[in-house]
Amino acid sequence: MVKAVSSAAVRRAATERPAPVNKRSAMLQAAAKLFATRGYDGTSMRDIAELVHVQPASLYHHFPSKSHILVSIFEESAIEMVDRVEKAVVGIEDPWEALEVACTAHMKALLAGFDLIHVVFGELPRRHEPEVRQKLIAERDRYEDVFRRLIDAVPLRRGANRRYMKMTLLGAMAWSRVWYLPEGRDSPETLAHNILNIVRTGVKS
């Protein structure tokens, strides 16, 4: 015999189910928006919960602390950026062309104003507890490894340091967030081409 279930029980069971994946994503987006505008230190878990219209307990169910949210933002950003760059270079055989296309994909994401990216570049230089900082650096390294592989493939003059080339290239592109003007004459493609060309002329074989 099947026992009847009241409508109240059905509603209660629905509210107790784990939030769907898009709810978690909404929480991360809300947190990134607040971190980007108010700063990490100026944002509370309650602020994030209010922005995404959930109870603080629901937010804590997915993220035990604010630092867990920050690490998750870095993870999501690394996954997104790696995917963008790897898709952009598929089928390109010339190593210098592949590197330029990767730089263009990087610049487009960097200058698009995404809150997740803003948080990544704004928070990593800041001081966080060692365990959190170690996780943030691991996510940064995961993304930079894509550029390491691309730079390893290009021909360089004898003695050129590929590690310093990678840091110089990524550093120059990252700094464009400070001075880039969307209404200016240079597109992300133009910036990527010229930044890479400046680096290339000093190290190409």
- The DSSP code for 1 is -
How confident is residue 180, by pLDDT bands cut at 50, 70 and 90?
Answer: confident
The total number of structural domains that make up the chain: 2
Torsion on CA atoms 89, 94, 95, 96, rounded to nearest 10: -100
State which residues form the domain around 60: 1-64
pLDDT one-digit tens code per residue, 78-131:
888 889 999 999 999 999 999 999 999 999 988 886 677 778 777 765 666 888
159 and 78 in a common domain: yes
3-state secondary structure of 30: helix
- pLDDT at position 167 over 70: yes
Mean per-residue pLDDT of the chain: 84
21 shares its domain with 98: no
Separation between Cα atoms, residue 107 and residue 191, nearest integer Å: 8
Domain end residue (candidates: 32, 64, 96): 64
Which of 47, 64, 81 is the endpoint of a domain? 64
Domain identity same for 168 and 102: yes
